[in-house]
Structures are given as C-alpha cells and as structure tokens.
Amino acid sequence: MTEERPAYPSLENRTARHRTLQAIGRDGTTTKPASGDCSDRKWPTYWITAASLLEWSDPYERIVDKENEPFYRWFVGGSLNAAENCIDRHLEERKNQVALRWEGKRGERRTYTYYDLYREVSAVAAALRELGVEEDDVVTIYLPKLPELPITMLACARIGALHNVVFAGFSPNALAERMQRLDSHTLVTCDGSSREETVINQKRKADTALASIEESLPTIVVDRLGSSHDMHLGGNQYDYDNLVEAFVGANVPPVPRKATDPLFHIHTSGTTGDPQRMTHATGGYLTGVAWTAQTVFDLMPGTTIWCTAGAGWITGHSYVVYGPLLLGATVVLAEGSLRYPDRYRPWEVIERNGVEVFYTTPGVIRTFMKWGESFPSSHDLSSLRLLGTVGEPISPDTWEWYYTHVGDERCPIVDTWWQTETGRVLISDRPGIDELKPGLVGRPLPGIEIQIVDEDGHELPPGESGYLTIDRPWPSMLAPLEGDRYWVLAEYWQAFSDPRADTWQYFTGDRAVIDDDGYVTILGRDDDVITIGNHRLGTAQLEAAITTVDSVTEAAAVAERTAGETALCVFATLEQGQQDRTAIRNAVADAVAEHVGEFARPTSVVFTPELPETYSGKTMYRLLECIVNDRPPTDSDTLRNPEIVGELTTIWNQE
C-alpha cells in the first residue's frame, strides 16, 4: 500500500486579503476576476487596482492609449516618481524599518533602514546633478552586488535620469558598446571585486571601455576593496564615499515623471543570440511589479525577500529593487557566489536574515541537489513561507526536491514565467488561490490572455504544443524608443507568415502546451529546438527525459552536425559520489529512446561538473553548440562560471 501524499499547501489566512486586493476597483466594487479572464467587460480595468498600489503626483486620465498600436501607452496624463514610491512615502510609518540587508562575500554586513536609504539616495542624486546629469540623461552602472547599485538606480530615478545597469562581469568592449548605444552621460563603477579568491580589477575594465569612447565621461568609483587595493582616480573621476559625504543631507525633491516616460534601459541576456536593448516606461512598469510582488510573492511591509538574481538582469530590477521596495518590504542582497566560502552559505543567509520569500532559478536548485540535502537540513529554515523559481522550466523532480528539502513540505512554490520584455511575471500560480502542479508554470495572471498557436498563428487545443503568445497588452510591456520600434515590431509582432490583421498578438519566442485546466507547461525557447530527421524536438522535452535517470541532476541537449546529418549530444551533471558512468550513460540513452523515440537516442553523453549558465540562471546553449561543432566559443561574458567553457572543451575533445 502506498502512502498518500498530502495536498500542496496554500498560504493560510492572508490569502483573503489578496483576494480582496485583486478584486477591488476604484469604485469599491468587489468582483473577483478569474485567472486569465480578459473579457472586454473587465479589460483593461484590472489595472486600476494595480495602479492604486502607487502614489501618483498627478492622476492619470486614461488607463491605456491605443493610438500607436501595438505599442500601447499606459496611464496617460498621470505622473509619479519611482524613488518617491520606493522610499519617501514609507518614511512616516516605517523610516526605522530595515529596507536592505547586504551580505558581502568576505563576511561584511550592512543594514539600511528606509531613512538610511533616503539619505544616501538623496546624496547620490545631488552628486549626479553636480556632475551635470539632467532629466532624461542616461547613467550607466557597472557594479557587482553592492548596496551602491540599487542606491544609484534610485538616485537616477529621483532626478528623472535613466539608469542602464550593465552586468559587472561584462568585458570592456561589451560595456563600451552599451554605453555608446545609449549615449551615456555618466558611469558608476568600483575599484574591484573578487571571484572567490581571485581579485577582479573592475576599474581597469571600466577605464579600458572609457578609453574607446571619444568624449570624457564623469565616472564615480566605489571603493569596494579598501586598503587592500591601491585605487588611482584619473581626471573626471570621483570617489563615491567622498561625494556622499559632501552631499549628505541634501534636499533633492523627486522629479515627477510622466507615466509614459522611460524609467530605464536594460539589455536582454543574449543566451540564444545578440543582446537587445529594452526600455520600460515608468507608470506601467511600476504598476506591474508592485502588483505581482504583492499577488505572486505575497510581499507586504516588513516581509524579507531574497532574490538571488543580479540587478543587471530584469529579475533583479523587478524583484530585488523596485517590487519589494514599492511595498515596503526588506530586501536581502548577497554579494558573490552562493558556494563561497562554502556550500553552507545560502542556508546561513536565509537563517541569519529570517528570509521569508526565496526566489531563485532551477539551475541554482539543481546545484543544491548536487551538493546534497545535508546542507539545507543543517540550518533553521523555518522563516521561509514561500519559494519561487524563474529563468527556465523546472522539472518535477527538481520541484519536489525544492519543496521537500528547502520548503519542508509546507512552503508553496510559485514557478514564474516572464521575460525582460514583459517587465514582470505574466504566468504563475497565485499562492493560496491556485492548485500547485509540479513542473507546470501555472495559469495566466488576471488580466493576461494567452494562446498556444501553430506556425500560421492559429490557436491549438489543450495538449498540443506550439508557440506561446500573449493576446492582450499589459501595462509593464516593453516601451521601445523610436529607433528600436522597427526591429521590435519584426521580432514580436510579425512572427507568423499570415497574421490575422484584426488581432493584437505578442510573440514570446517560447514553445508551450496548455492543459484542460489552463495550466501552462513551458517547453523552452523556439531557438532551443533540435531537428533530427523530420522531427523537431524541444530541448526541454529531451532534458526532462534525461533527468528521469537516477543520479542525473541536470542536462543540456544540443545538436552535433556532421556530413549533413544531425546527432543528439547530451551534457549531464551527476550527484556527488556516482562512479558507474558507463551504466548511467546507457541509462540516459535508453531514457531518451523510451520517452521521446529510438530515433532520438543520443550518440554522445558527456559528464560535466556543471553547465555553462548565465547569472540569470539560463543554460548557454550556443556555447555548447560551438564546442560540439568545433567552432570557437562565442562571448562568455554573461556566464557566472566562464571557466567551465575551457573545461568542457577539454572533456569533449577527450570523448
């Protein structure tokens, strides 16, 4: 007789508050919308409730302006300031509440209350103005996970400047390209950082990038390494701490921005191709992240959230900085690798800071699985009440491990789907409301309508895989600059050979399938498809089959092309202590043949300590394809583990 597993739990009594918040409109009526219900009667009035979470300098006149379809404008006529919403409006009730807890990789810790944040953001804002930064200028931020990063983002927002956060691991050429593309006015960087025991001279990289730009840009440098590193400031370069000291106590009134004005620029991660510039508008973006931070992550004043994403990616923007601070929550920011100085670090951070909401990637969870359950079980994780994942599909076995060994079978898991382009979560379970189905991302959130369509844009029935499309606009959608609209239109709105002229339809580039209950399973990017014979196979489908094998914790499937034919190659990581690799290799090949078909049996199964992954948690397939097809690896700047590329090349050549 098998033991019956208990139903996955919901979030106790506080769900009643969320049901009310999701339903109440400006007129006080309380009609609860069904998930994904986008009837003309309700759309776009869903967003009135979401917008009420913000403080507006001027009320908006129209929810949405359709004049420039498909590039809709939201909350037309309204104005507000992002920094004021994240900081100033909280001061009366919670100025002494902790807003940010920072954990340095060398054991340092800093705590900022909302009042501390207000003072330093104001000082940096005054310093930026002194350096000539004006409204609509672009400030590029090239920093690792330091408190100065979100502080500078908010300082830009305070004075109406746009921030452009560039991942600190990028090369000088990548930094220069992103600064020039946006005509950056000012750069903010630091003297250096460290990757485990290796010191990275961040300022040298920044100086190299600046040397390739014709004009001299004001540069603010954060002293991260202290007396252990001699930092030299050149002309037009300024020490961050000296500037803060000079301007502390400055009164910098927040600049009201039109809801349709841009808030920031950001670049896509470039896992499958060249990164692209994205722009998000102030009112729609803030509305989207505030509402989903509350609805999906159950954040409220004082809730402590740790999202492991870097602020260089959209997840960091939305759920490390803006979403939590808009709601008066407490953010944990942890610098460096989760495995340094040892594998106990993630659980020490959760225990020490009383983390309630933990949001990470399936790739990170698979790493935890490889380490073993003894690490989380050695710490008190009882503060956790909600877990989340983002970045790629999570397999049912990974979901179960996360639920059991991190959440102690009591914390709901929100498996979220969204993109840099969407600004915020669009598809997810709602804790306390929706049934949890391991491996399924959930249903569209209220106000979001989706379809699964074929190559011609025609809707497919439940159970059939196709392209995931969004069929109604949403406030936090990308708001491209005039110069970007041509390629954005081609990329996202002209994807089908015969689009229906009377239908607004956003092409996500992801393949998915929907079940009879409306739950979505993400199969992977359309780019992540391998054609073997006449069969098009999604990498997610193949990898789900591979990870059914005991001992295999994660896998990546790529195509090897030789003599006009395509063969399937598998890179797999194993649990620690697994020695019988021949048996596991055979089991992997058999699993693919059983779950997918004999035609897909892999010709190569390569074992690797880890896969190449970006800091946003995505496997870099194009690097693996370069390795198996004997091409020079492409730019690996976005990798959290760039050293693995050379190691994988050696392993492949020895196979």
Task: List, as one string, the DSSP characters of 37-66.
Answer: ---TTTTTTHHHHHHTTS--SB--SEEEE-
Question: Pick the residue with more confidence: 158 or 274?
Answer: 158
- CA dist., res. 622 & res. 434, Å (int): 36
Task: Give the range of the structural domain holding residue 620, as residue numbers without chain letter.
Answer: 528-654
Q: Is 111 within the bounds of a domain?
A: no
Candidate from 54-58, 422-426, 503-507, 614-618 with smallest mean pLDDT: 614-618
In a domain, 606, yes or no: yes
Res 638 pLDDT > 90:
no
What confidence score (pLDDT) does residue 149 get? 98
Query: What's the whole-number mean pLDDT along residues 566-570?
Result: 87
For the chain, give the number of residues: 655
Q: Three-state secondary structure along 309-370?
A: CCCCCHHHHHHHHHHHHHCCCEEEEECCCCCCCCCCHHHHHHHHHCCCEEEECHHHHHHHHH
Query: Do 545 and 625 belong to one domain?
Result: yes
In a domain, 198, yes or no: no
pLDDT category at 230 given cuts 50, 70, 90 is confident
* 597 and 506 part of one domain: no
Are 608 and 497 in a shared domain?
no
Task: Identify the three-state secondary structure at position 123.
Answer: helix
CA–CA dist 199, 146 (Å, integer): 16
Query: How many domains does the chain divide into?
Result: 2
- Assess whether 508 and 589 both reside in one domain: no
Q: Residue 423 falls within a domain, yes or no?
A: no
Tell me, what's the pLDDT at 637? Answer: 63
Mean pLDDT of 352-377: 93
**68-81: average pLDDT:** 94
Percent over 70 (pLDDT), the chain: 88
Q: Are 472 and 422 in contact (CB under 8 A)?
A: no
Q: Are residues 538 and 602 in the same domain?
A: yes
pLDDT single digits (tens) 245-261: 999 999 999 999 999 99
Mean pLDDT of 495-513: 75
pLDDT of residue 449: 92
CATH number, domain of 540, equals: 3.30.300.30
Q: Which residue has the higher pLDDT, 305 or 367?
A: 305
| E strands present in 224-321 | 237-239, 257-258, 262-267, 277-281, 304-307
- Entry pTM: 0.84
* 535 shares its domain with 550: yes
515 and 566 assigned to the same domain? no
Residue 641 within a domain: yes
Same-domain check for residues 502 and 616: no
| pLDDT of amino acid 628 | 87
Give the domain CATH number at 467: 2.30.38.10
- Identify whether residues 550 and 459 lie together within a single domain: no
Least confident of 39-48, 168-177, 207-216, 219-228: 39-48
Q: What is the pLDDT of residue 8?
A: 52
What does DSSP say about strands 138-141 and 186-190: parallel, antiparallel, or unpaired? parallel
Lowest mean pLDDT among 1-15, 292-306, 473-487, 612-626: 1-15
pLDDT for 586: 92
Residues 624 and 573 in one domain: yes
Q: How confident is the model at residue 521 (pLDDT cuts 50, 70, 90)?
A: very high
For residue 501, tell me if it sits in a domain.
Answer: yes
Interacting residues of 392 by C-beta distance below 8 A, sequence separation 6+: 361, 362, 363, 522, 524, 540, 617, 618, 619
Q: Is residue 628 in some structural domain?
A: yes
pLDDT digits (tens, 9 = 90+) for 435-471: 999 989 999 999 999 999 988 888 999 999 899 999 9
Q: What is the pLDDT of residue 4?
A: 39
On whether both 495 and 512 belong to a single domain, the answer is: yes
Query: Averaged over 345-369, what is the pLDDT?
Result: 95
In a domain, 34, yes or no: no
What is the number of other CB atoms lying within 10 angstroms of the CB of residue 494?
A: 11
Mean predicted lDDT score pLDDT of the chain: 86
Q: What is the mean pLDDT of residues 169-177?
A: 87
* Residue 568 shares a structural domain with residue 460: no
Choose the weakest-confidence range: 34-43, 473-482, 525-534: 34-43
